[in-house]
Amino acid sequence: MPKNEKEMPRKVKAKIIDEVGLKRTTTRLAHEILERNRGADNLVIVGIRTRGVFVAERIIEEIKQIEEKNIPLGILDITMYRDDFRQRLTQPVVQQTDIPFDLDEKSVVLVDDVLYTGRTTRAALEALMSFGRPERIQLAVLVDRGHRQLPIKPDYVGKNIPTSIGEEVQVKMREIDDEDCVLLVESPVGTNNEFNI
């Protein structure tokens, strides 16, 4: 899937995680997930589109290296659950959700790239509930940039990056971007953050 307009080059303030660092971070997240869940049994991972899916895939790959187990991957698109529906003028494109397994009694690790207001997570939690009744849902994010608007707290955090409102965190993943890294960039002037919830 190609890049879109909102990922146009912005003024980069800092590269916070580089390629090697990103690999280390996903390795640590995988270990923490295994430790907390006492192994990989009964575990499933659900990535939130778009980049959460790639983070999830990498965590699954790490778990495979550590425990020699294949964890099932689900893909979640939260567009149908957005809470800004009545405020927007045009509709965002709905993409496919693909959760090809039963969530009943499973331990679900929900994975996203950046945790910000918490609205995406809220939408994802609501979506997961229509797929069954998981035993528990945990939240893993590559970056927590603060500014929560809802009472949501992650279980696993790759890196805490305190940001101001005029800044944004850009996660780049080789699967769709040119490189693997996490950047702190300036918000473009006059953005309404329409697609950033």
Which of residues 18, 98, 105, 186 is near another protein by CB under 8 A? 98
Q: How far is the CB of 102 from another protein (least distance, A)?
A: 8
Site for another protein in 107-166 (CB under 8 A): 126-127, 129-132
Nearer of residues 22 and 171 to another protein, judged by Cβ = 171
Entry field: residues in the chain: 197
Q: Which of 128, 46, 115, 45 is closest to 80 using CA atoms?
A: 128
Which of residues 68, 93, 151, 190 is near another protein by CB under 8 A? 93
Is residue 11 a contact point for another protein (CB under 8 A)? no
Residues linked to residue 12 through DSSP beta bridges, in sequence order: 185
Is residue 91 a contact point for another protein (CB under 8 A)? yes
Give the CA angle between residues 74, 77, 83 to the nearest 5°. 135
Is residue 101 a contact point for another protein (CB under 8 A)? no
At 109, the amino acid letter reads V
Give the CA angle between residues 19, 20, 22 to the nearest 5°. 65
Task: State the Rg of the chain over Cα.
Answer: 16
Which of residues 42, 97, 117, 187 is near another protein by CB under 8 A? 97
Q: How many residues bind another protein (CB under 8 A)?
A: 29
CA distance 161 to 18: 14
Write out the residues near another protein by the rule CB under 8 A.
1-2, 4-6, 77, 80-81, 85-98, 126-127, 129-132, 195
